[in-house]
Amino acid sequence: MSEKQDPFNAPFGTLFGDHMAVATYVDGVYDYPGAAVPLENFSLHPATHALHYASECFEGLKAHRQPDGSVAIFRLDDSVARMIRSIEKLRMTPPSAEMLRQLIIDATTANASFTPDAPGSLYIRPTFIGTAPNIGAAATPSTEAMLYCINSPVGDYFAGGVRPLTIFIETDMPRTTPQFGSVKSGANYVMALGPTLDAKRDHVADQVLFASGDDVTETGAANFFLCDGERLITRNLDDSFLHGITRSSILQIARDMDMEIEERSIPVAELRAWAEHGEMFLSGTAAVIAPIGTVITQGETITIGDGQPGGTTLKLREALTDIQSGISEDKHGWLTPLNS
Ligand SMILES: Cc1ncc(COP(=O)(O)O)c(C=O)c1O
């Protein structure tokens, strides 16, 4: 991609910075040369472990252009910590937090010139793949791995910008398996794909909110919140869903606004009742804060309020994006400035 290509007129995630950073793991040791290299295709053995047994995980975070033109990464250390947890859940040896952090910084610094102005950003995709050429290793971890980071200049995740989404509530199928819900592994996303495509086709829904066992959790790629002027409610953390870093940022911002926070189970009946008086939204690095205007559940289509983005939802979204783009004070130390 050239720096002139417009991320607002390209699908999310289809443009790339021209550098990447790559480390390898062989014989129990990580080797990171310590600098970004030009982006190029990999050559992988057809028996590569990740291609057969899904020994793969990744992260998604963003760098934002600041008012002085510099670029800063949002909540880098939280993503580093989550990726290390994901690699451990794959039963592989993670790199040190310092190495992973530096690898992300090196790739993102090399690609920083691709960062669009707000509301655009530079999406950061650290990725880990088991690379041992061994199709007999279905029940053993890969003995070799590759850890790399690429960047993608992005505009809006949902085509059409901030618009109220239509969400289908799936009460039969979970998003993924209970033991892998909090792991950011590609296998989870392909499991959520079928129900999401079915809901798009059958209900013209934008996303599926998974609520098996009458337990409202998250969509295929975002966490879920109920809110009104005073209260913010979201599912309490356990292994069943991804511990969103945007989720944690929103909870902190709401605390700073003296809102009442509830982290607990949300039954579908409560969600339905909430539609009559409150607001709902999704949160994620890609989605930022995406208002929900319509919910489809048990054969009924329910409009949330007047179907338009709610005031509290928009207030929280603005508070978050103002911190990310350096308009508001970064009082929790969430930004890591890059040296240009
Ligand atoms: C399944 C899932 N849930 C929630 C989220 C939100 O996590 P975060 O806010 O860290 O991006 C994501 C990622 O965007 C996700 O893929």
- Average pLDDT on 310-339 reads 97
Mean pLDDT of 164-184: 96
Summarize the confidence of residues 271-298 as an average pLDDT.
95
User: What b/e readout covers 74-85, taking b as 16+ CB neighbours within 10 angstroms?
Assistant: bbbebbbebbbe
Question: Which residue from 162, 149, 153, 169 is spatially nearest to 121, judged by alpha carbons?
Answer: 153
Give the domain ranges of the chain.
Answer: 7-154, 165-324
pLDDT band for position 1 (cuts 50, 70, 90): very low
Question: Using H for helix, E for strand and C for coil, what is the string for 225-243?
Answer: EEECCCEEEECCCCCCCCC
- Residue 157's pLDDT band (boundaries 50, 70, 90)? confident
Task: State the pLDDT at residue 162.
Answer: 80
- Identify which of 180, 189, 221 has the alpha carbon closest to the alpha carbon of residue 89: 180
Burial of 201 (0-12, 13-18, 19+ CB in 10 A): exposed
Give distance in angstroms: CA of 39 to centre of ligand 1: 26
Can you read off the two tokens belonging to residue 43? 């050559």
Which CATH fold topology does 165-324 show? D-amino Acid Aminotransferase; Chain A, domain 2 (3.20.10)
Taking each helix axis from N to C terminus, what angle separates 245-256 and 76-89, rounded to the nearest 10 degrees?
A: 140
With beta carbons less than 8 A apart as the criterion, state whether 60 and 125 touch. yes
Given this model, what pLDDT does residue 156 score?
76
The amino acid at residue 168 is F
- % of residues, the chain, pLDDT over 90: 94
Q: How do beta strands 19-26 and 300-303 pair?
A: unpaired
User: Which phi and psi (to 5°) does residue 215 adopt?
Assistant: -125, 100
3, pLDDT greater than 60: no
Average pLDDT for residues 156-174, to the nearest whole number? 86
Q: Compute the mean pLDDT over every residue in the chain, rounded to the nearest whole number.
A: 95
Whether the per-residue pLDDT at 107 is higher than 90: the answer is yes
Residue 329, classed as helix, strand or coil, is coil
Ligand 1 mean position, distance from CA 135 (Å): 31
Other beta carbons less than 10 A from residue 202's beta carbon: 10
What are the residue ranges of helices labelled H in the chain? Answer: 49-53, 76-89, 97-110, 186-203, 245-256, 268-274, 311-324
The yes-or-no verdict on residue 150 having pLDDT over 70 is yes
pLDDT at 320: 97
Please, which pLDDT band fits residue 2 given cuts at 50, 70 and 90?
Answer: low
Give the chain's largest Cα–Cα span.
Answer: 59
Please tell me the distance between residue 284's alpha carbon and the centre of ligand 1 in angstroms: 5
In tens, the pLDDT along 38-86 reads: 999 999 999 999 999 999 999 999 999 999 999 999 999 999 999 999 9
Q: What gap in Å lies between CA 168 and CA 185, rounded to an integer?
A: 23
Beta bridge pairs of residue 130: 145
User: pLDDT band for position 164 (50/70/90)?
Assistant: very high
Residue nearest to atom 5 of ligand 1 (CA): 222
Query: Which residue, judged by its Cα, is nearest atom 14 of ligand 1?
Result: 284
Read off the DSSP letter of residue 268: H
From CA 318, how far away is CA 307, in angstroms rounded?
19
How many Å lie between the centroid of ligand 1 and the Cα of residue 139?
28
Query: What is the Å distance from ligand 1's center to 285 Cα?
Result: 6
- What is the reported pLDDT for 340? 67
For 7-154, give the CATH class: alpha beta
Round to whole Å and give the CA distance between 290 and 159: 12
Distance from the alpha carbon of residue 237 to the mean position of ligand 1, in angstroms: 13
Any residues with Cβ below 6 Å from ligand 1, and which? 60, 218, 221-223, 242, 244-247, 283-286
End-to-end Cα separation, the chain, in angstroms: 20
The pLDDT assigned to 161 comes to 66
Least confident range of 2-16, 93-107, 164-178, 245-259: 2-16
Does the pTM exceed 0.85? yes
Give percent of the chain with pLDDT exceeding 70.
97
Which residue among 246, 249, 282 has the greatest number of ligand 1 atoms within 8 angstroms of its CB, and so is best to mutate? Answer: 246
pLDDT band at 179 (very low <50, low <70, confident <90, very high): very high
Q: Is the pLDDT of residue 298 over 80?
A: yes
Question: What is the number of the ligand 1 atom nearest to the C-alpha of 248?
Answer: 9
Query: Is the preceding omega at residue 309 within 30 degrees of 0, hence cis?
Result: no
Ligand 1 atom nearest the C-alpha of 79 is 10
Confidence (pLDDT) at 4: 53
pLDDT, average across residues 294-306: 95
Q: Reply yes or no on whether the pLDDT at 29 is more than 50.
A: yes
Question: Average pLDDT in the 3-26 region?
Answer: 91
Sequence-distant (6+) residues with CB within 8 A of 200 are: 206
The secondary structure of 156-201 as a DSSP string is -SSTTSS--EEEEEE-SS-SS-GGGTTS--HHHHHHHHHHHHHHHH
Burial of 215 by CB count in 10 Å (0-12 exposed, 13-18 middle, 19+ buried)?
Answer: middle
> Atom 6, ligand 1: which residue's CA is nearest?
284
> Which pLDDT tens digit goes with each residue over 205-242?
999 999 999 999 999 999 999 999 999 999 999 999 99
Atom of ligand 1 nearest to the CA of 220: 1
Give the closest residue to 164 by CA, choosing from 299, 319, 303: 303
Mean pLDDT of 162-174: 94
Q: Which two tokens stand for residue 301?
A: 């289509």
**Angle, alpha carbons 250-180-186 (nearest 5°):** 85
Mean pLDDT, residues 176-191 taken together: 96
pLDDT for 331 equals 97
